[in-house]
Amino acid sequence: MTPIEVETGVQSPSWRVELARYARPSVPRSLTDLATSVLPYLLLTALIVWLAPRSVLLALLLAPLAGGFLLRSYIIFHDCAHGSFLPGKHLNIWLGRTLGLLVYSDFDSWRHSHAVHHATAGDLDRRGTGDVPTWTVAEYNGHSRMGRLGYWLFRHPLVMFVLGPIWALIISPRLIKRSQRPRIRRSILFTNIAVVAMVTGLVWLLGWQTYLIAIWPAALIAGSAGVFLFYVQHQFEDVYWESGDNWSYDDAALRGSSYLHLPRILQFFTGNIGFHHVHHLSARVPNYNLPRAHKDHPVFASVPTLTLRTALPTVRLKLWDETTGRLVTFREARATRGATL
């Protein structure tokens, strides 16, 4: 039995079967999602374009709202990658590729890396693809001073949440690696060509100043929020990490993915992704069915739960301590192992 089963006395169901009834996309509901995410983002962007020559300040004041709708659009892109947003594989693929231009990401490569993330989340032996790089205390202590400094810099909040979105939106999606399959390399190449053509057309049509004001403040706000969401959903004190035969997919979902309990308005803009434990148990559940799946299963009351107030301090946690089974700060790691930067 898993720890959650022991605590609640509830035997774990076969989650794939148990959640199957929530994994049926509704076309009207999906179209409503598009109408309340992509459409408002495009309309707000058009309004910002109109405002920019008249008042840069007013234009920038609309950026957070536009960023919220762009983040919500990203969740649809994410659902398409799981094949959960629309009925039919090809409908999800082509909508995902179209939305990929909106979020400056190649759909096929992102879908692959994210699938790896779902298959390996919480597995110490399979870290490194689609996740936040996380070292153990022993690994940190075993690295050189420069290696520890590099990891410290990478995990610094300013780097992760300010420079991180720039890397995630602008640089990383453009990179083509030899290790990738030819199909994915071609997909990235074609996406890069399409992005260059799109940006060139917008700059020619709007002018570079208006383009920057209309697109990038909202994109960076959405990117920072997205990085933070992904971080807190798998980086909290009692998060699940195991290796080898001790690793369990269900435990990684139930103990290694947080339920981020947000105010209703933020739940709307984040596309219900705070119900991350349900999402990791069954990635085929569309975002709009996640709250109902959570509510219908009392066992989910025992999953790790965070609020905005309790999520913010998690950014201090940097290393996995295998002796205590929890994420710790650099200071705690130095205190218990005598490591220094």
Tens digit of each residue's pLDDT (9 = 90 or more) over 316-333: 999 999 889 999 999 888
Q: How far is CA 214 from the centre of its chain?
A: 24
Number of domains composing the chain: 1
Question: What is the pTM for the complete model shown?
Answer: 0.91
Half-sphere exposure of 22 (CA within 13 A, CB side): 24
Between these two residues, 13 and 245, which has the higher pLDDT value?
245
pLDDT bracket for residue 245 (50, 70, 90): confident
Indicate if the pLDDT at residue 339 is higher than 50: no
Quick: pLDDT tens for 93-137.
999 999 999 999 999 999 999 999 999 999 999 987 888 889 999
pLDDT the model gives residue 164:
87
* Percentage of the chain exceeding pLDDT 70: 94
User: In the predicted model, what is the mean pLDDT of the chain?
Assistant: 91
Closest CA to 69 of 46, 92, 102, 36: 36
pLDDT recorded at residue 259:
96
Give 185-209 pLDDT, tens digit per residue. 999 999 999 999 999 999 999 999 9
Which two three-digit tokens encode residue 48?
Answer: 């910002």
What's at 15, amino acid-wise? Answer: W
Average pLDDT over residues 38-45: 98
336 pLDDT band (50/70/90 cuts)? low
Residue 6 pLDDT? 31
Quickly list DSSP for 293-316: HHHT-GGGGGS-EE-HHHHGGGGG
The pLDDT tens digits for 18-34 are 899 999 999 999 999 99
**d(Cα 15, Cα 12) in Å, to the nearest integer?**
8
- What lies within 8 Å, CB to CB, of 341 at 6+ separation is 145, 148, 149, 152, 330
pLDDT of 130 reads: 81
pLDDT per residue as tens digits for the range 128-180? 788 888 999 999 988 999 999 999 999 999 999 999 889 888 898 999 998 88
| Helices of type H across the chain | 3-8, 15-18, 27-35, 38-51, 56-61, 63-81, 89-102, 107-120, 137-142, 145-154, 157-158, 164-166, 182-206, 208-232, 249-256, 264-269, 276-281, 290-295, 308-311, 330-337
Diameter of the chain measured on Cα atoms: 63
Helix (H, G, I), strand (E, B) or coil at 324: coil
pLDDT for res 11: 38
What pLDDT is attached to residue 337?
A: 56
CB 54 within 8 A of CB 255: no
Beta strands 135-136 and 259-260 are: unpaired
Mean pLDDT of 231-248: 91
Neighbours of 144 (CB within 10 A): 8
Residue 207, phi then psi, degrees to nearest 5: 90, 150
Domain hosting 195: range is 3-337
Query: 137 by DSSP, 3-state: which?
Result: helix
Encode pLDDT of 205-237 as tens digits. 999 999 999 999 999 999 999 999 999 999 999
**Beta-carbon neighbour count of residue 176 at 10 Å?**
14
